[in-house]
Chains A and B, each alone.
Chain A
Amino acid sequence: MVPLAPTTEVPLVEMRDISIAFGGIRAVDDASIDLYPGEVVALLGHNGAGKSTLIKILSGAYKRDSGAILVNGAEVAINSPRDAKQYGIETIYQTLALADNVDAAANLFLGRELMTSWGTLDDVAMEAEARKVMGRLNPRFQRFKDPVARLSGGQRQSVAIARAILFNARILIMDEPTAALGPQETAQVGELVKQLKSEGIGIFLISHDIHDVFDLADRVCVMKNGQVVGTAKTTDVTQDEVLGMIILGKCPPGAIPGPGAMKAAA
């Protein structure tokens, strides 16, 4: 099922031995993870396992204490969200991170506004681009003049997704992208993930829903207490084995164990 041979190719992004501590608590402890072009890697774990924190380090929201981030094999400095975006790393946050009081176009271009030759905001051009990308994601969307606070949950979600794909992302981070959605909208996100994957974009998917994960992801990476329990191709492990990784930290034979794997399985 996995079309790629990861060992022969340079990973799109690689996080090596990443650690970060908040007030003495090691939220992420020596975690390593990689992602290849056109691949979906799911990050799994309990609340507080460190998956969101790890991913926020990649998106530039947090600064790591130690470890390295490599994009296309070269080490890069990611110290702010702006840095991450320069390397084509886009994030759809669980909270969506939309500026609620401005309209969809302003949100899509927030921090990267299109300007006229006079140095002023080119709202018309931004709206035109917004109409294009929203037309692709959500053809019925018409409320370009309303602040996004007035939009429905699904509409807000599509604005957040549109913002992530608007600037030709190469690495997409989706933090619980379907948490606030109904079944039909969830299915649409699934379709979108498949489409982006076929375009060669690498996707980190954080999810609680193990069925979703087995539908969409090529590999899973399970975290527990800030450490990586193990990484496995979804074809090599069963859902029960993955649950065992999440709950007990027990690494099954089909997975490559990480530092967080339960030692000496009894």
Chain B
Amino acid sequence: MTDITTTPVDRARASELGPFARFLKATELDVRMLGMLAALAIIWVGLHFLSGGLFLTPRNLWNLSVQSASVAIMATGMVLVIVTRNIDLSVGSILGFSGMVMGVMQAQWLPQYLGIPLGSHWLWIIALCSGLIVGTAIGALQGYVIAYMGVPAFIVTLGGLLIWRGGAWWLTSGQTVAPMDETYRLMGGGPEGSIGATWSWIVAVIACLGVIWLLRSARTQRKRFHFPLRPVWAEVFLGAVACLVILGAVLVANSYGWPIGIVRRYAQENGITLPEGGLFIAHGIAIPVLMAVAVGIVMTFLTRRTRFGRYVFAIGGNPEAAALAGIATRWVTMKIFMLMGLLAAIGAAISSARLNASTNALGTLDELLVIAAAVIGGTSLAGGAGTVLGAMLGALLMQSLQSGMVLLGIDTPLQNIIVGFVLVLAVWLDTMYRKRV
């Protein structure tokens, strides 16, 4: 029905906008996201000065990126879980269990029972796949109980937290499994688990071209239907900022060289004589970080461009309305938990590869970090709102705080106190912000 009041109000508001608000309107940027980026910048600069210039170094930033990867990957799935007003407390335990499955497979079962020789490629391929399948199956089981049997997600996943942690212990009677397959270990980062300077630049250029292509195709689409367009300067600005961020990140990754010992060994193995002043071999982007970025892109695509994603948000906004619109809400819920299980298994691959071992403590308390990352990243516990990018930034923010405090030499108990405090503070700020909008 015609609403006489709102349209003139909108118009009046548009003419009263200040320069910053006009900028936001033109670029269609999210204020929340900008706020988070600002918080991240403040934390980074603050830690940099407090630590006497140790934080914003290529070495620390590179390590930060690798440390954030696993939690960031899981946080993208937690967004969907929380958006549909559910919770998953079992992700840390699923990580532990599927990590243990991958470890035991490649270190014991496959070589012993199937006679696959150590060093064979099948080892890591089969181990990885079975871990991913196990994670997805656990998610499917829990999702089924939640969606079709009607047990609250909190309870099901609380049970899962105990069950899968115990299962991880039970698989090897508590023994740690090591070492991991050499190829498998690449997923953990480190000098070998990075793609080097040249490939990093290639990835960066492809990413920049991708950004430009996305902006262009969105614009031509809108033109085709004669929709209002963003001003050209705003498009150019967005594209330029995105490209600069990509190139900057790669520049940082490429400025972090291999440690001297590893360079020396590498030179010996390849018959290179070390030049005077040492040889600089850049890490480039770490493989776990590439995996996290890939997961982020796929998950963003899933939430924004597919039916599944649309239904997830519709269910979160109004479950009854979604059901009345003919959406199979239970099946969607089950799929969300399957996806969460799969992502936890990917996290398990990265964590166990990085540790070069599977322990039954792998991923302990990760569920809390993952939930905190999603919530700090703007996922509303009331359901219906949240973004994949926000959750990944949330994971980065949490990890920045933690590794920053390690750099500062703060005691572990105090670290936990601060992290807990920041979580509550972030959600409080978000609540205040939402009330005002």
The verdict on A155 contacting B317 (CB below 8 Å), with A111-B326, A124-B225 known, is no
Which residues of A sit under 8 angstroms from B417, Cβ to Cβ?
none
B3 and A81 contact, CB distance less than 8 A: no
A100 and B307 contact, CB distance less than 8 A: no
Is the C-beta of A197 less than 8 angstroms from some C-beta in chain B? no
B3 and A138 contact, CB distance less than 8 A: yes
B313 and A110 contact, CB distance less than 8 A: no
Which residues of A sit under 8 angstroms from B7, Cβ to Cβ?
140, 142
Is the C-beta of B322 less than 8 angstroms from some C-beta in chain A? yes
Is the C-beta of B15 less than 8 angstroms from some C-beta in chain A? no
Q: Which of B1, B227, B321 has the most CB of A within 10 A?
A: B1
B310 and A102 contact, CB distance less than 8 A: yes
A100 and B384 contact, CB distance less than 8 A: yes
Is the C-beta of B2 less than 8 angstroms from some C-beta in chain A? yes
Is the C-beta of B323 less than 8 angstroms from some C-beta in chain A? yes
Closest to A157 in B: B1
B327 and A158 contact, CB distance less than 8 A: no
The verdict on A142 contacting B227 (CB below 8 Å), with A101-B317, A101-B384 known, is no
Is the C-beta of B414 less than 8 angstroms from some C-beta in chain A? no
Which residues of B sit under 8 angstroms from A154, Cβ to Cβ?
1-3
Q: In the bound complex, what is the Cα–Cα distance between A21 and B221 (angstroms)?
A: 51
Q: Which of A99, A102, A184 has the most CB of B within 10 A?
A: A99
B317 and A102 contact, CB distance less than 8 A: yes
Which residues of B sit under 8 angstroms from A81, Cβ to Cβ?
323-326
Contact indicator per residue, chain B 308-324, by CB within 8 Å of chain A (1) or not (0): 00100111111011111
Q: Which of B3, B314, B384 has the most CB of A within 10 A?
A: B3
Is the C-beta of B10 less than 8 angstroms from some C-beta in chain A? yes
B314 and A110 contact, CB distance less than 8 A: yes
Q: In the bound complex, what is the Cα–Cα distance between A124 and B223 (angstroms)?
A: 10
Which residues of B sit under 8 angstroms from A185, Cβ to Cβ?
1-2
Q: In the bound complex, what is the Cα–Cα distance between A111 and B329 (angstroms)?
A: 11
A85 and B326 contact, CB distance less than 8 A: yes
Contact indicator per residue, chain B 270-312, by CB within 8 Å of chain A (1) or not (0): 0000000000000000000000000000000100111100100
The verdict on A138 contacting B322 (CB below 8 Å), with A124-B222, A124-B227 known, is no
Smallest CB–CB gap between B11 and chain A, Å?
9
B2 and A110 contact, CB distance less than 8 A: no
A120 and B327 contact, CB distance less than 8 A: no
Smallest CB–CB gap between B315 and chain A, Å?
8
Is the C-beta of B33 less than 8 angstroms from some C-beta in chain A? no
Closest to B226 in A: A128
Smallest CB–CB gap between B30 and chain A, Å?
12
Q: In the bound complex, what is the Cα–Cα distance between A60 and B327 (angstroms)?
A: 12
Is the C-beta of B6 less than 8 angstroms from some C-beta in chain A? yes
Which residues of B sit under 8 angstroms from A140, Cβ to Cβ?
2-4, 7
Q: In the bound complex, what is the Cα–Cα distance between A73 and B333 (angstroms)?
A: 38
Interface size of B by Cβ–Cβ distance < 8 Å?
35
B384 and A110 contact, CB distance less than 8 A: no
Which residues of B sit under 8 angstroms from A152, Cβ to Cβ?
3, 5-6
Which residues of A sit under 8 angstroms from B313, Cβ to Cβ?
99, 101-102
Which residues of B sit under 8 angstroms from A113, Cβ to Cβ?
307, 310
Which residues of B sit under 8 angstroms from A2, Cβ to Cβ?
none
Q: In the bound complex, what is the Cα–Cα distance between A111 and B322 (angstroms)?
A: 8
Which residues of B sit under 8 angstroms from A149, Cβ to Cβ?
317
Is the C-beta of B224 less than 8 angstroms from some C-beta in chain A? yes
B1 and A158 contact, CB distance less than 8 A: yes
B307 and A155 contact, CB distance less than 8 A: no
Closest to B319 in A: A99
A110 and B1 contact, CB distance less than 8 A: no
Is the C-beta of A127 less than 8 angstroms from some C-beta in chain B? yes
| Contact residues, B1-58 vs A (CB, 8 A) | 1-7, 10
Which residues of A sit under 8 angstroms from B163, Cβ to Cβ?
none
Is the C-beta of A210 less than 8 angstroms from some C-beta in chain B? no
Smallest CB–CB gap between B26 and chain A, Å?
13
Stretch at the interface among A27-35, A90-98, A233-241: A90-98
Contact indicator per residue, chain B 62-95, by CB within 8 Å of chain A (1) or not (0): 0000000000000000000000000000000000
The verdict on A100 contacting B6 (CB below 8 Å), with A82-B326, A110-B327, A125-B225 known, is no
Q: In the bound complex, what is the Cα–Cα distance between A95 and B325 (angstroms)?
A: 13
Which residues of A sit under 8 angstroms from B323, Cβ to Cβ?
61, 81
Is the C-beta of B385 less than 8 angstroms from some C-beta in chain A? yes
Q: In the bound complex, what is the Cα–Cα distance between A128 and B223 (angstroms)?
A: 11
Is the C-beta of A106 less than 8 angstroms from some C-beta in chain B? yes
Q: In the bound complex, what is the Cα–Cα distance between A154 and B3 (angstroms)?
A: 6
Contact of B324 among A97, A143, A181 (CB under 8 A): A97
| Contact residues, B382-397 vs A (CB, 8 A) | 384-385
Which residues of A sit under 8 angstroms from B6, Cβ to Cβ?
143, 152, 155
Which residues of A sit under 8 angstroms from B307, Cβ to Cβ?
113, 115, 121
Q: In the bound complex, what is the Cα–Cα distance between A152 and B318 (angstroms)?
A: 17
Which residues of A sit under 8 angstroms from B301, Cβ to Cβ?
120
Is the C-beta of A168 less than 8 angstroms from some C-beta in chain B? no
The verdict on A120 contacting B3 (CB below 8 Å), with A61-B324, A127-B225 known, is no
Contact indicator per residue, chain A 51-91, by CB within 8 Å of chain B (1) or not (0): 00000000111000000000000000000111001000001
Closest to A140 in B: B7
Smallest CB–CB gap between A179 and chain B, Å?
13
A106 and B314 contact, CB distance less than 8 A: yes
Q: In the bound complex, what is the Cα–Cα distance between A154 and B323 (angstroms)?
A: 23
A97 and B1 contact, CB distance less than 8 A: no
Q: In the bound complex, what is the Cα–Cα distance between A98 and B319 (angstroms)?
A: 10
Known: A93-B324, A110-B327; 7 extra A-B contacts, CB below 8 A, are A81-B324, A97-B320, A97-B321, A99-B321, A127-B225, A140-B7, A141-B3
Residues on B lying within 8 angstroms of A by beta carbon are 1-7, 10, 221-222, 224-225, 227, 301, 304-307, 310, 313-318, 320-327, 384-385
Closest 10 CB pairs of A and B: A101-B317, A82-B326, A101-B384, A99-B314, A185-B1, A111-B325, A97-B321, A111-B326, A154-B1, A110-B325
9 sampled A-B residue pairs with Cβ under 8 A: A99-B325, A110-B322, A111-B325, A111-B327, A128-B227, A140-B2, A143-B6, A184-B2, A189-B1
